[in-house]
Homo-oligomer: A and B are copies of this chain.
Amino acid sequence: MTIKISIDCMGGDHGPAVTIPAALAFLKHEPEAELILVGLEDQIRAELKKHHAADNPRLSVKHAAEVVAMDDPVEVALRRKKDSSMRVAIEQVKDGSAAVCVSAGNTGALMAISRYVLKTMADVDRPAICSILPNQKGGPTYMLDLGANVDCEPHHLHQFAIMGAVLFEAMEHRRPSIGLLNVGTEEIKGTEAVKATAALLRADHERGVLNFHGNVEGNDIFKGTVDVVVCDGFVGNVTLKAVEGLSRFFKATLMETTLSKLGALLAMKSLKKLNPESYNGAGLLGLKGLVFKSHGGAQAYAYEWAIRRAFDAAKYNVQDQLSTLIHELMPPSADREAPAPTIQQVKQ
């Protein structure tokens, strides 16, 4: 069975120079995929010609006259650029032409346009961005929210946990353990919002609907203590960027001297599994359609990974599972809108 993916070819720091080679490399490895390349037709066709792929039958080009710049304010991207490659790529999912969309464009704009075009899923208050990180156990750690939501109520964090769990189960084919990111593992630790969220997750655990491990700390993300790490978008965004910053620092340090370069070369095989590139591709969850986000600075290899994740999510039917399971797991809207319960209230 064929899965169609729409690609925002203009998004990201490099545009078609990266997105097209990545798309072609992906197609080579994935016979079940068809791609809709969205953006400035001339540029896309020129890039395709360069790679002798002008008439690949599994590729179609969809023209979009505008491009959302990485620094475009959300309002501009949403209201003024109605024919942007980003928006048209998302519309392919909306009208059913594509099962999933991939973009490396400006995150704020991508989330805003996705919410506007696709709408938020029933039972979900706020969509979240879920990223995948490597861990020392050799498995992936799913982490959300990565920046879509900065001021979060307990019921938002609760929903992130549910969406993250569903994505993990669909992609990894096993039931995940869930950890709530905190400053300590003890129940008394953390902000009021986090404590109240822990109480909601413990209740789910007792009802047997979620496998809640409890609080986890920053170092647990890479230890692989749990499969899904839940936090608000502020903490998630800052943590992820700090970690990316340290990785770059590490790389730069290894490239400093001839000796260290040689050392890096020898250690490359081992270091590869730490390569953030192969963990590119974050899912926008909680929308009425699948959208995947690539890092804006991604090179072709990393971008290909984002397409691969989007393909898997569509193949494993993440969207249907999300809407079904979220509906089952999500507490009735009335409870959600109620003020955040304190641990005491919930424990009673």
Contacts and interface: CB of A to CB of B under 8 A. Distances in A.
Interface of A: 108, 134-136, 147, 150-151, 181-184, 189-192, 194, 217-223, 231, 233-235, 237-250, 252-254, 256-257, 259-260, 262-271, 273-274
A183 B148 CA distance: 10
Contacts of A235: 234-235, 238
Contacts of A239: 218, 238-239, 242
Contacts of A189: 150
Nearest to A232: B191
Given A218-B245, A260-B269, A264-B267, 10 more contacts: A108-B184, A150-B189, A182-B238, A218-B240, A218-B242, A223-B245, A243-B243, A262-B263, A263-B263, A263-B268
Contacts of A267: 253-254, 259-260, 262-264, 267
Contacts of A264: 263, 267
A267 B258 CA distance: 9
Given A235-B234, A238-B183, A259 B250 contact: no
A312 to B, nearest CB: 24
B250 A250 contact: yes
A151 B243 contact: no
Contact of A270 (B247, B256, B273): B256
* Chain B CB within 10 A, most for which of A190, A222, A256: A222
8 contacts: A150-B183, A151-B191, A223-B245, A235-B238, A239-B242, A254-B271, A259-B267, A263-B270
Nearest to A249: B222
Nearest to A268: B263
A263 to B, nearest CB: 3
Contacts of A223: 245
B218 A183 contact: no
Contacts of A266: 259-260, 262-263, 266
Contact of A245 (B220, B233, B250, B256): B220
5 nearest CB pairs, A to B: A218-B241, A263-B267, A219-B245, A263-B266, A218-B242
A141 B147 CA distance: 24
Contacts of A270: 253-254, 256-257, 259-260, 263
Contact of A238 (B136, B217, B269, B274): B217
Contacts of A136: 248-249, 252
A229 to B, nearest CB: 10
A273 B248 contact: no
Contacts of A108: 184
Contacts of A219: 241-242, 244-245, 248
A260 B270 CA distance: 6
Contacts of A240: 218
A274 B250 contact: yes
A215 to B, nearest CB: 11
A231 B135 CA distance: 26
Given A219-B248, A245-B223, A253 B238 contact: no
